[in-house]
Amino acid sequence: MYHLDNISQKKGNTQILRGINLNIDENSIFAILGPSGSGKTTLLNILAGIDRPTDGNFLNEDGQVEKGIMVFQDYRLFPHMTVFQNITFGLKVKKAKNSEIKQRAENIMKTMGISELINRYPDELSGGQQQRVALARALILNPKLLLMDEPFSSLDEALRIEMLDFVKELQRKFQLTIIFVTHYKTEAYMLSNKVAILINGQIMQVDAPKKLESNPQNFDVAKFLGQANFIEGSLSSDNFSSPVYSGKVNVVAEEGKLYLPFSGQLQLDQTDYPAFKGNVVEKKWMGSNLERVTIKINQETVYCDLASESVSENQVYQFYFSKLPVVF
C-alpha cells in the first residue's frame, strides 16, 4: 500500500493542494479524476519526486519516502535521439552494460509493438507511436510505480480506448501500481474500479465509478461529473418545492442554495417519485443506444439520457425519478 499523507502544496500565494490523504493498493490502477487546474499535475510531480510538497509525504508500506516513474502528458521524448536512444537513455545514465541495454530494449520494444520504429526520430512518429515510446522508456526501468499524467489526451477516441486496454494489460503483465490522472471520466472509469475526485486541490470523494455516479457526495462532485441538472427551489424539512419537482428529497447538505440532480435518475416507467410532465424539444444520439434528451417544463430546461427511440420530439411525457431525488 502507498500512502499520500497529508500532502499540501503552495506556490507563492496560491494554495494548490490542500492536505491530500489517499491509500493506494499495490498492483492496481488508481485513477485521480479532476477538472483542468484542480492540481493533478502538481500532485503527480510530487509523487514523482520532481517537486517537493510544502507539507506531507508520499510513503510506501514501510513508511519510507517513495517516488514513481512519470509518463508525461506531452511525452517529452528527446527530439534529437532515435527511438532506441530515447528508450535506453535511463539505463545508460544508470551505466548498465551494453548487452543488457540491448536485450532489455529489444524486449520492451516487442512488448510495446514498436520494434520496427527503432531508428526513427520522434518527429517521424504518430502521436500513438510516441506514446508507446514514452511508455517503453518508463517501463524499461522496471518501475514498481508508474505515474501517468493524462497520457492519452491528444489521441483520437479509438486509439485512446485501445491504449487504455493496453495499459491494463501492461499493469497485469508487469504487476505495476499505476496512478493515472485524467479529466476524462470515461477514461478513469474504464481503467479503475477506485476513482478519487480531485477538485480545487482537495480529494472530494474516493469510490467505485458506479457509486460516484449514483451517489456524488457533494455539489462540486455532481457538477463536475456532469450528470446533474441543478434546479433551484426551496426546502422545508425534507420537502423540496420547485417548478419542476415538488416532494420528498434526500437532503445531503443544506448550503442555502438548493439543487436537484436529474440525469441518470429519470425514467418513463412509473415509480413512487413522479418528477414532472415535460415537452421533449430535442434528442441527440450519443452512441451506444443512448440519447441525450432536452425537456422543457415551463421556463426550465432539463437534460437526461434515455434509451434511443424511447421518446419522440415535440411530445409531452410524464417523467419519474428512479429513486428519491437528492438536494445538495
Contact set with ligand ATP (CB under 6 A): 11-12, 14, 16, 34, 36-42, 183
Task: Say whether 319 sits in a helix, a strand or coil.
Answer: strand
Closest CA to 145 of 199, 65, 85: 65
Closest CA to 137 of 91, 68, 93, 180: 91
**Cell triple for residue 23?**
491509500
Closest CB to ligand ATP among 6 and 15? 15
CB of 325 to ligand ATP, least distance (A): 31
Closest CB to ligand ATP among 150 and 207? 150
CB of 58 to ligand ATP, least distance (A): 15
Closest CB to ligand ATP among 15 and 310? 15
Cα–Cα distance measured from residue 188 to residue 208, given in angstroms and rounded to the nearest whole number: 10
Closest CB to ligand ATP among 189 and 303? 189
CB of 153 to ligand ATP, least distance (A): 8
Closest CB to ligand ATP among 9 and 88? 9
**Cell triple for residue 70?**
512519470
CB of 187 to ligand ATP, least distance (A): 12
Cα–Cα distance measured from residue 273 to residue 227, given in angstroms and rounded to the nearest whole number: 19
**Cell triple for residue 136?**
517503453
Closest CB to ligand ATP among 39 and 56? 39
Task: Say whether 244 sits in a helix, a strand or coil.
Answer: coil
- The distance in angstroms from the start CA to the end CA of the chain is 34
CB of 178 to ligand ATP, least distance (A): 17
What is the number of residues in the chain? 328
CB of 184 to ligand ATP, least distance (A): 10
Q: Cα separations (Å) of 176 from 37, 144, 146, 191, 207? A: 27, 5, 7, 13, 21
- Please list, in sequence order, all residues whose beta carbon lies within 8 angstroms of the beta carbon of residue 238, skipping any fewer than 6 positions away: 248, 249, 250, 251
CB of 44 to ligand ATP, least distance (A): 8
Closest CB to ligand ATP among 58 and 262? 58
- Please list, in sequence order, all residues whose beta carbon lies within 8 angstroms of the beta carbon of residue 15, skipping any fewer than 6 positions away: 8, 9, 201
Closest CB to ligand ATP among 145 and 197? 197
CB of 226 to ligand ATP, least distance (A): 16
Give 257's DSSP letter.
B
DSSP code per residue over 56-71: EEEE-TTS-B---EEE
